[in-house]
Structure 1
């Protein structure tokens, strides 16, 4: 196994741990901070988009694709941004879980996350792991004079060939399948 793969796997594991801890932190904080009004206002603002699952899927895809690309590319700054991005998203997931759990129950909330989450979360973590890797490669370029451009292009290729297709599938699962699963629960 080459160094890139080892580094990305180790970073993915660390980011998964940070994501999980952040979900827990968001869940506990969400119980103390009522966010129902803010979330309702947000969903009302986007109201019409939820009526058309194709448009919704494309919006979800564009949102996740754009943010994960930015998180990956901003990793050149020593990997700080992708780590913060994963932690913030975990925190938000935890807050939403704490918001929906009293009405839906934990099982239904988990069912609302799993169908698309098993694709979306790993894809974002992979993009962010490459962001951390780019931070390491940038450090080597900055302080040891190593090349950076080829590593940046490698990360972008992985993003296009692996992360984007997974995020596209996850977006359509979230728009078409997740509502059915939640409705049946």
Structure 2
């Protein structure tokens, strides 16, 4: 039962993310009038995070920021997956928009190098966390109708979150802070 539910939840997560990634990349990014204000808003939001120039501090900041997003993806399932779906679609849209916009300005190579090295781990963690969120939503729904125990499901999923998602996020933050900048400098 777990494997089928997990597989369906991952498929749903991927479908939502990819759909909004494509909207960001192909619909909004090529349209400068729509893209420019959104890019400025994203830059302002990122600037508000006041990321450090020290790679070790930056790694911790990135890890904590991504951990917060992953927790929203997972725990958002408690409200029937509404928060999970929203966080997933906004992240897909923003990543698609930024990558599409960056590709238009700097080319596909720099765009890919800026996200793929750490994105492999980060996006995997987000998809797993969102799948867990949708599984939690299903469990809440089942419990409402007397066919399950959402607290027990949350406990089991929480253990998987700690042992799978958190290490992936830590690895992603390390790569994003120490490796991705080196690779970007190599292709610039």
TM normalised by structure 1 equals 0.90
1:89 maps to what in 2? 91
| Structure 2: 5+ residue stretches without partners | none
1:24 maps to what in 2? 22
The CA deviation at 1:45 is 4.5
Structure 2 residue 46 is matched with structure 1 residue 38: no
1:167 maps to what in 2? 169
The CA deviation at 1:40 is 4.3
CA offset digits 1:67-123 (Å, max 9, x no partner): 211221120222222122111101000111122123310121011110000110011
The CA deviation at 1:46 is 4.8
Distance 1:180 1:9 in 2: 35
1:103-182 equivalence runs, <5 A: 103-182=105-184
Rate the CA distance shift 1:129–1:43 in 2: closer, same or farther, 3 A: closer
| Structure 1: 5+ residue stretches without partners | none
Structure 2 residue 2 is matched with structure 1 residue 4: yes
CA contact (8 A) 2:72 2:87 kept: no
The CA deviation at 1:41 is 3.8
1:15 maps to what in 2? 13
4+ residue segments displaced more than 3 Å: 35-47
Distance 2:116 2:6 in 1: 24
Distance 1:67 1:140 in 2: 25
Name the Cα RMSD after superposition: 1.7
Q: Secondary structure of 1:97's partner?
A: helix
2:82 maps to what in 1? 80
TM normalised by structure 2 equals 0.89
Rate the CA distance shift 1:148–1:46 in 2: closer, same or farther, 3 A: closer
